[in-house]
Amino acid sequence: IMIDSGVTLGRKDENDNVVGGIINSSFVGNYNENTNSKGVAKGGAIYTKSNLNIIADNKVSEFTGNYVEFGGKKQYEAIYVDGNSLSLTLSAVNNGKIIFNDYIDGQTGYNVYLTGDSTGKIGLFNQIQKADVFVENVIVDFVDNKIGESEFYTLKSDDTAVYNFDIDLINGVGDSIKTTKESSGVIKIGLLNCLNSYSGTPITIQLLKTQNSNLQLALSDNIITIPYIENIIYNDQIVTLPDTIQ
């Protein structure tokens, strides 16, 4: 799909509700190919030069296997936002789910809004590249039984959002969020999917990699009841491991 400038697919009403757009639609196996050796291709499923809303309302919207191919290279890119002042809004409501197995790209500094009504879930199993990302009132899901790192250009996360992570209790690693530039807000942990059993030996798992302490971790109420999670180490605290940091 190519969305030209001046074409509007969705908007926000006077109460900041997401209205209209691409609703309850999945994009699987689409591609954009440029056979010119010096050319590029953008947006395997959607290329937009306008603001765009993608909404999952009590259903699943999935982006899988969409790619661009140029210069002999194949990259799994679902959406390209061609304008640094444009906004892509992903809204999951009424237990709806938006699943991205392909990455999102665009001109540096475009906006991506992850939002919902607290029942919806957005699964990010690939990257959102070069965007200023804003998150509120939605479940952000990284759980796919694999350990990965999600890198954001900037991230502003409201405490109404909840995040689900995979963690490996044997190797002491977990899904992580990394920011390229200064970010802010709260990453509230809603669910920890343990890939293996806890041995009883204390471990520290880093879920957040940022420039300073303006973006911090917090525990939701259901996480606090898990007995083997004792505390959170915040970004402004330094842990020194023997023989690693002098």
Contact 133, 90 (CB under 8 A): no
- CA dist 193 and 144 (Å) reads 9
Q: What is the tens place of the pLDDT at every residue in 115-157?
A: 999 999 999 999 999 999 999 999 999 999 999 999 999 999 9
Q: What is the tens place of the pLDDT at every residue in 55-108?
A: 999 999 999 999 999 988 999 999 999 999 999 999 999 999 999 999 999 999
The per-residue pLDDT of the chain, averaged, comes to 88
Closest CA to 119 of 133, 137, 142, 141: 137
Q: What is the mean pLDDT of residues 227-243?
A: 51
pTM: 0.88
- CA dist 159 and 122 (Å) reads 16
